[in-house]
Structure 1
Amino acid sequence: MIENIQHILASDEPLSRDQALWLLTEADLLQLGRLADEVRRRKHPGNRVSFVVDRNVNYSNVCESKCKFCAFYCDAESEKAYLLDYATIFAKVQELADLGGTQLLMQGGLHPSLKIEWFEELFRQLRQQFPQVQIHSLSAAEICHIAKLSGLTMSEALRRLQVAGLKSLPGAGAEVLVDEVRQRISPNKIGWQEWGEVMEAAHALGMRSTATMMFGSCETPVDIVEHLFRIRAIQAKTGGFTAFIPWTFQPHNTELGGKTTSGVDYLKVLALSRIVLDNIDNIQASWVTQGANMAQVALFFGANDLGGTMLEENVVAAAGISFRMSQEEIIDLAQSAGFIPVRRTTEYEILEEYLK
């Protein structure tokens, strides 16, 4: 089987679901890693590893979705509930801009009272004050929720937010794109087809986005493979995904609970992602959930990107995981593994190369 798959990959032919499932469940870890590394080398022959200087601003922790895997959200009546005012958000973005940052990843929950006007005014002011910072914000679920609250279609809301300054979308909220899984872990959130519809609508407007997968909760290997093939199908249709980011469920402090996914399983899924998603250029290592050492190993299992510096991160931290890396540490991580680190924009334009 492995020789057959090697031949298929060498011929630039796509794998079948059965072949992908075999790789995930039967192939040796190092065999799988070598296959993924070969794909990575073909796609990125310059031995570069990219990253972006960004900040994740969580404008609110109030959320009606109440996902069972989330340790961050709270009810509107909770003493811990908050909603950042514009001035506080601007101060956070100013800190990002002062460090040469170029990406603002802003997300909150499905807030019960924030209509589209609140976001439009915020984005307009952010675009005016910080034109060098790309507003890469709001999940597909947030877009749908804002539209519903505001009496708009999803497409209308997306277009208005784009006009106000929203430039691209993160892939958050994908979890696993199988509704049976979603009903178990996030029954109040949009289904997988709605997630895909938001992404396709954004791509049709010229907005790029990332795609993600949160695995390690209750899905099966078949579900993981299905997720990857659904992402690949959307990309074949639109070409709008810049990168794919698989990351692991963090069970601590969550209603869902469970065990932490092993590093071996993380590397297997990461490698399979690189192999299956032949039409997406970039695969990102998740140092936020895996830490620096595993992120470095991931560079030999198909990843070519280390994501963002994330001056601030609250959602994963609420589950008890709080890895931090400065720009200097990311550069050193890539260099010490034998790669050339490059600073990029949200849409993967190279801004600076760091040679030893």
Structure 2
Amino acid sequence: MGFHELDAKELYDVSGRVLIDVRSPGEFAEGTIPGAVNVPLFTNDERAMIGTVYKQESPAAARRLAMLTVSPKIPQLVEQMEELMKQGELVIFCWRGGMRSFAACTFMSLLKYDVKRLRGGYRAYRQLVLEGLAVYDGLPSPPIVLHGMTGVGKTRLLLMLKERGHQVLDLEGMANHRGSVFGAIGLGKPHSQKIFDSMLWESIRELNPEKPIFMEAESRRIGHSVMPEWLEQDKIHGQHVLIEASLGSRVERLMDDYLAQGDQEVLKKGLNDALTSIQKRMPRDLLLELRAMLEQQEYARFTGQLLEGYYDPKYEHKLKTYQSEMLTVDADDLDRAVLRLEVLSDQVMRDRIKGEILS
């Protein structure tokens, strides 16, 4: 065997690695190691056909079909991986460290390229993630939890803070969903639980216990993903900050978020479908008004009315469930809001150090 094997834990010892997932595009979309590049040996249909032969005929017949299917692709596959080698050392994996990754590594080693293979494949990495998340009993440093009505700019603030070097857990980004019934519009398919878990695991591993962590006050379920119970508890016991902004600013920000998606018909259908899913939870007269505005593509009026008539009352009720002291930050000017949050983060760490000294 002309290539080396790594355990999942050893992945983090390979600096500048380039992860190559040789599974089918469908498997890759369901969940992979964050940052991996898909170089599939088989299409979704080819994989299904080989699986059928395996079950209905024999493993030997399936292996023969796999060989015949991949053989014409070898030059193209090698070229793709040669190009990726310019970025770093290749670590190749499939589902469980089976024939697909073995074949890909063999192609490269025959050309005297030094590549590595992930022992146990994606399944071993997935197990590492699940075991890692299960043993956490809390974040390594205090979370600063941002609350606020829809459109106040919580996600924008998190991104701005991250750009300025602060620690951020962007749970909506990990879930690829904004959290509400309208939250998937323009983002594509929400991430699976596997993808969410992996992104959360990778983010938590890099957290510095000497710095606070900013996060949003998400519900435990975000799109198709559910955060761990310990993270929910950390959120509840964190430093809570209420982000406020005028209705005009909120509408403008939501318009930027949604209208920037381009295709107006797709947007209109997405908004209509989302509205239909909550129609039983709102007064009929409000529903009719909103539908009329959508029909006329009066998106600014639609957004303002939806906020005032539906989302704001629900959020005010939810906010009352938090018993902790809550500071307030005005976010009509996002730059000033970021500065306020930075001052707060310094105070949080000073209080923590003081508490440790006194304890």
When normalised by structure 1's length, the TM-score is 0.31
- Report the structure number with the largest CA radius of gyration: 2
Higher RCO (Cα < 8 Å, 6 or more apart): 1
